[in-house]
A and B are shown apart, each in its own frame.
Chain A
C-alpha cells in the first residue's frame, strides 16, 4: 500500500489536494483560507470561523449541529485560526469514520459534506449580520480565550516575546487580538470579514481518505461557485529584520518559575542548514542545550530551540530560576558559539539528520500531518515529498552548519520574572 498525492487548480484561486491511502479508516476534509495577518481584521476572521463552525441556516445552534455530528458517528467539524509566515490561515475542518464502519450503512461523508456547505456558504445570518445569540456567545468565548492566554505560562511568555521580536511586522499581532479589540467587534463587521475571506483569499482544499470520493472535485467547484471570487491576498513571508540595538524586555508575573525567550535572526539563504543547526543546538534530547544547559548544569527544566523558517528567526525558550537567568543566557549563547567554532562531531550531525529523517518519514501516518505537510510546502512554494526533503538535509555539509550558526545574531531577550521565584533562597 502507498500514499498517492495529487494537487490541481480548480480555478478562481482554489487549489485541491487529494491524498489517498488505503490504510486510513477515516475521511478528512479541510479548507484553508490564506489571508492577511492584521491587527484588527484577523480577530474578526477568528470570530467568524468559530461562528460558522457552530451553526448554519438549517442547524441554527451549536446544540442542533452537535446532535447531527454525533449522529454521524461522532464526526468532527471545527474551525481554526492560525499563522503561517506573515499570513493568517483560517481553516474549516471535518473528519468522519469511513462509510464501511457505519452500522446503519449511512453515507457519512456525503452527509458531512452537506453540513460543510451549509456552514461555509449558508450561515445563520440575516441582513448582513450573524444571528445575534450565536454571535454574542462566540464573541464572549473569544474574549475569555484572550483572557486565558495567561494560564499557560510557557506559551504566554513566547506570545508576549513575539511583540518585541517582531515589532513593526504583522507577526507582532495575534489572530485573537486583544480584549479591547475583541470587545469592539460588531456582528456586521464580523460578517463582512467572513465575506471578504470567502471572496478574496487564496483557498487550499485537502481531502485525505482510503479511497477517492466520487465527484468531490466537482462538488467543491459547485460549492464555491456560489461566491464571486477574486483573489486579492498574496502569500507573504519576509525575513524578520535584525534590530540595530538588542531589545531586552523584562516583565513580572506572580509565578514560581521564571521564563526566558531569546530570539536570534539570520539572513542566511540556506534554510535547511539553518534548520539543521537549530536542531543540533536545541531540537532533540541529545542536542547541545538539552545535554549541557538542562542535564549537565541543571539550569533549566526545559530549554529548546525552534527555527521559524519563513521568518529566518531562531527562538530559544526556557523555564529557569530567576537567580540562574544570567548563567542560562550565557550558557545558551556559549553553546551556539561552540557550533560557530565547529565544536560538534560528525556524529552529532549524522544523528540529527537521522532524527529529522525518522520524523519526516512518519508524516504519511496521520491525515493531519499529511495536510500540514502539503499545506506548508504549497505555502513555501516548493512542493516535495518528505523523502525528497530528507535528501536536502542529507546534502548539508559541516561547513554549512557552521556558516548557519555564524549567521545568527541576538535580537531580543524577553524575561518573565517570577515574583515568587527564589523565595526559598530568601528564607
Chain B
C-alpha cells in the first residue's frame, strides 16, 4: 500500500500531497483549484555532472563519456514499436524533456486527458529501447544541437567561466558533451546508465494543476514496475577551493562584448545549501541591484547596460555567484564589483536595502504559487535537493541581517574570482 501525507505550509496556507509509492517511487501531487492545465514531470536524479557512479552490484566506479545523460534523454523518446510523440499526439498534450546539470526530466502539459498522458509518461520512461542504428542517427541530431550551442555566446560565456572556476567538478562540462565524446556512446553504455539511474528509488513524479491524487495513484499502481533500491552512489573528484585561471576570452560575433564574472566558494547541500543560496541572493542584490551604488556607478560611467544581472548558481558540489552583462570594458566592471564587495565587507551592507530585498524576495516566492508550470517545477527541484517547496519561505522568514553579512564574507572572496569574456 502507498502512504499519503499532506504537506501543509502555515505561512502561505498552501499544501500538496506526498505519496511514498509501493513501487519505490516518490510522487508529489499539488491539486490547484480553478486551473485548467496539468503539468507533470517524471524525473531522475541524473544530470550531466553524474559521470562517475556505482551501485551495490558494482565493485568499482564506472566513468562514462560526457553528454551521455542528455543522449539518453533523446533516445528514450523512441520505443521499440513507436515514437513517443505519436502517442502523445493522440492525447493533445505538449510533451518534452530536458537534461540539466543534476537531473533529467520528462514532462507534458495539457488541459484534457491528463490521465492518458500520464500513462504514456510512466510507460515510456520505463521502457528503454536502444539499437546501434538509432544511436548512430542520434549522434547526427545531437551533433547539430552542439553546433547550435557553439554559436550561442550566452551559453559559451557561461561554460567558459565554469572551466575557469572548476578544476575537476563535471559542472564545467557542456551538458550535451562534445561531438567527440558522444561518438563514444553506444547502446550497451546507454543500457548501463539507464539501469543505474532510472531506478524508481532515484526518481520522482511531480504533478500539479487540474489533477486528483487518487487518480494519479491508481495509474501509478497500474504502471509502475517495483524496483529494488540498488544503493546508487555518485562521486566527484575532489574539487579544490581555488580557481583554475582568472580570465578567458573567446572571439565570436557579438554586439557589445559580453561577460560573466564568477565568485567561487565551497558548496553545501540540502537545507544548508538553500539557506546559503538565499542569503547570497539577498546579498548580491543589495550589492548590485538597480538601487545599489554599484549599479548607479556602472551605469553612469557607461560600463554596463540594462542587461546587467546577477545569479546564484549552486548544486551538488558547486557554488558560484555570477555577475553577467555587456560592457565595453568588462575588466573594469570586475574591479568595480570587487571594490563594492570590499566596501560592504568593511562598512556593512545597507540595512534598509536588506529589508527591502527581503520583502521583494517574499513577493517573488508567492508568485511562484500562481502558475501550474512553476509549481510542478518547484516541487521537483526541491525534492532532488532533499527540500520541501516551502523551505524557501521559512528560511526567508528567519533570515537576519547578520546572516547575510556573514554570507557576504564567506561567499564573495575577491581573490577567488574569474572572468569570462566574449568579444568580436
Contact surface of A with B, Cβ cutoff 8 Å? 1-2, 21-26, 61-64, 66-67, 69-75, 96-97, 101, 103, 133, 137, 140-141, 144-154, 253-257, 284-286, 290-291, 294-295, 298, 300-302, 319-321, 347, 351, 354-355, 357-359, 361-362, 364-366, 418, 424
Residues of A within 8 A of B88 (CB): 285-286
Whether the pair A149, B302 counts as a contact (CB closer than 8 A) is no
In chain B, residues 346-362, which have Cβ atoms closer than 8 Å to a Cβ of chain A?
353, 356-357, 359-362
Q: Indicate whether A70 sits within 8 Å of B34 (C-beta atoms), given known contacts A147-B256, A256-B147, A359-B94.
A: no
- Complex CA distance for A154 and B154, rounded to whole angstroms: 13
Q: Give A146 to B253 CA distance when docked, in angstroms.
A: 14
* Smallest beta-carbon distance B286→chain A, Å: 11
> Is there contact, CB below 8 Å, between B152 and A148?
no
- B33–A1 touching, CB < 8 Å: yes
Chain A CB within 10 Å — which of B93, B253, B307 has the most? B253
**Interface of B, helix, strand, loop or mixed by DSSP:** mixed
A96 and B92 contacting across the interface, CB-CB below 8 Å: no
A151 to B35, CA, bound (A): 37
> What's the Cα separation between A146 and B307 when bound, in Å?
12
Nearest B-chain residue to A1, judged by Cβ: B34
Given A22-B34, A63-B295, A319-B148, A253:B360 Cβ within 8 A: no
Given contacts A74-B362, A355-B92, 19 further A-B contacts (CB under 8 A): A23-B34, A62-B299, A63-B296, A67-B291, A74-B360, A74-B361, A101-B363, A140-B305, A148-B326, A151-B255, A153-B148, A257-B144, A257-B150, A257-B151, A291-B83, A302-B148, A354-B89, A358-B110, A359-B111
- A25 engages B366 (CB within 8 Å): yes
Indicate if the CB atoms of B89 and A351 lie closer than 8 Å: yes
A-B contact count (CB 8 A): 191
Q: Which residues of B contact A300 (CB under 8 A)?
A: 144
A sample of 22 cross-chain residue pairs with beta-carbon separation below 8 angstroms, ordered by A number, consists of: A62-B290, A62-B299, A66-B290, A67-B291, A73-B362, A140-B302, A144-B326, A149-B255, A150-B254, A152-B154, A154-B148, A298-B137, A301-B144, A301-B147, A319-B148, A351-B92, A358-B93, A358-B111, A359-B111, A364-B36, A365-B372, A366-B370
Residue numbers in A under 8 Å from B144 (CB-CB): 257, 298, 300-301, 319-321
Which A residues touch B37, using CB under 8 A? 361-362, 365
User: How far is B144's CA from A302's CA once the two chains are assembled, in angstroms?
Assistant: 9
- Which B residues from 271 to 298 make CB contacts under 8 A with A? 289-292, 295-296
In the complex, the answer to whether A63 meets B367 with C-beta atoms within 8 Å is: no
How many angstroms between the C-alpha atoms of A96 and B148 in the bound complex?
37
| Given A73-B363, A97-B367, A294-B141, A357-B112 contact (CB < 8 Å) | yes
Given A63-B295, A358-B111, decide whether A144 and B360 contact each other with a Cβ distance below 8 A.
no
Tell whether, in the assembled complex, residue A357 and residue B92 are in contact, meaning their CB atoms are under 8 Å apart. yes
Cβ-defined partner of B153 (8 Å) among A64, A145, A151, A355: A151
CA distance A147 to B392 in the complex (A): 38
Count of interface residues, chain B, beta-carbon cutoff 8 Å: 70
Given A26-B367, A301-B145, A321-B144, check contact A151 B154 (CB 8 Å).
Answer: yes
Closest residue of chain A to B359, judged by CB? A73
Distance in Å: Cβ of A181 to nearest Cβ of chain B: 16
Cβ–Cβ < 8 Å partners of B148 in chain A: 153-154, 256-257, 301-302, 319
Q: State how many angstroms separate the Cβ of A365 from the closest Cβ of chain B.
A: 5
A236 CA / B170 CA spacing, docked (Å): 53
Using Cβ atoms and an 8 Å threshold, which residues of chain B touch A62?
Answer: 290, 299
A366 touching B360, Cβ below 8 Å: no
B252 at the interface (CB under 8 A from A): yes
* Residue on B nearest A61 in the bound complex, by CB: B296
Question: What's the Cα separation between A66 and B370 when bound, in Å?
Answer: 23
Q: Report the Cα distance A73→B367, complex, angstroms.
A: 10
B406 within 8 A of A: no
Contact (Cβ within 8 A) A366 B371? yes
Specify which of B179, B253, B360 is in contact with A73 (CB 8 Å cutoff).
Answer: B360
Q: A66-B290, A358-B110, A362-B111 known; A147 and B93 CB under 8 Å?
A: no
